[in-house]
Structure 1
Amino acid sequence: MRRAVLPAAALAGALALTGCGSGSGPDSGPGASKADLSVSSPYMPQPVSPDMAAGFLTITNQGGAKETLTSVSSDVAGRVTMHSTVGGAMREKTSFPIPAHGRLVFRSGGNHLMFEELKQAPKQGQHVTLKLTFAKSGPLTVEMPVRSATYNPSTGH
């Protein structure tokens, strides 16, 4: 009986090693080793300033790898900067991490985009096109609707 156990154990070990790196298991498949990004709830309140506006959106990463938002651009502004707000203090940031299976939220009173040096102030009902650039993933183009200056996303007004 002892002779049969040894070859069976060796076979089981070989089969276990064969399974390593075969692409099966909970951490494999589509999106396991890369980010899977989408954008929701984009909007820009109609600017009250002729040369500056804010923008808000949510970036969701359903993939198994973290990603980093490295820049934002738009043809309506000379530049678009990214900001965090902590304890009432606004700070410009050069990038924002987006965790695997997580979200990056830009909202009023928190992280936000600033459209600076506006070429023409967008009006309510129009759309602004922006390009989101990431460290590893390809860029995303987003159509951001311009809402009233007092728009509240939680009420839709």
Structure 2
Amino acid sequence: MRRPAALTAGALAGALALTGCSGSGSGSGSEKAELSVSSPYMPQPVSADMAAGFLTITNKGGAGDKLTSVTSDVAGQVTMHSTTGGAMAEKSSFAIPAHGRLVFRSGGNHLMFEELKRAPKQGQKVTVKLTFATSGPLTVEMPVRPATYNPSTGH
């Protein structure tokens, strides 16, 4: 009984894969970015005027996009940084590939909340607006975690 269902599922998956590859230009959902955000958090700042932020942006769509700016009512400005070989560099945008992810994590790409208007405390949430080159903006509630928070352990 399971074999026909598996064959049907396989045929359906194959048909969907072929449909996604068609170059018809019909504007189907697979030809644009489909962005979502997961695992956002801000470690409680140890500085009175600066904080970091981390999150993952996933693109399930068939086209890439770019994160072009980040804003928050808690900061005068939010800048985006890459870290390569221990060297930090401010970036004006980050690519989000089709069927890929953009990860902001401690020790890597990250957001810097500068000119803090208030000091976010553990247990609070910070609202962040993400702006993209082609997709509409996303608003994210970023929970404030302990300064020593490690997302892999949850503590």
TM range (shorter): 0.7 to 0.9
Per-residue Cα deviation, 1:23-42 (whole angstroms, up to 9, x for no partner): x8232584311000000000
Q: 1:109-148 alignment to 2 at 5 Å?
A: 109-148=107-146
Matched, 1:100 2:98: yes
Whole-angstrom distance in 2 between the partners of 1:70 and 1:107: 18
- Deviating beyond 3 angstroms after TM superposition, the runs of 4 or more aligned structure 1 residues are none
Structure 2 residue aligned with 1:43, among 41, 45, 51? 41
Structure 2 residue aligned with 1:75, among 69, 73, 76? 73
Larger radius of gyration: 1
Q: Which runs of 5+ in 1 are unaligned?
A: 1-23
Q: Secondary structure at the match of 2:30?
A: coil
CA contact (8 A) 1:52 1:118 kept: yes
Whole-angstrom distance in 1 between the partners of 2:117 and 2:131: 21
Letter in 1 for 2:21: D
Per-residue Cα deviation, 1:82-101 (whole angstroms, up to 9, x for no partner): 00000000000000000000
Count of aligned pairs between the two proteins? 134
So what's the TM-score if we normalise by structure 2? Answer: 0.84
So what's the TM-score if we normalise by structure 1? Answer: 0.83
RMSD over aligned CA atoms reads 1.2
Q: Which runs of 5+ in 2 are unaligned?
A: 1-17
Whole-angstrom distance in 2 between the partners of 1:42 and 1:25: 33
Corresponding residue number in structure 2 for 1:9 = none
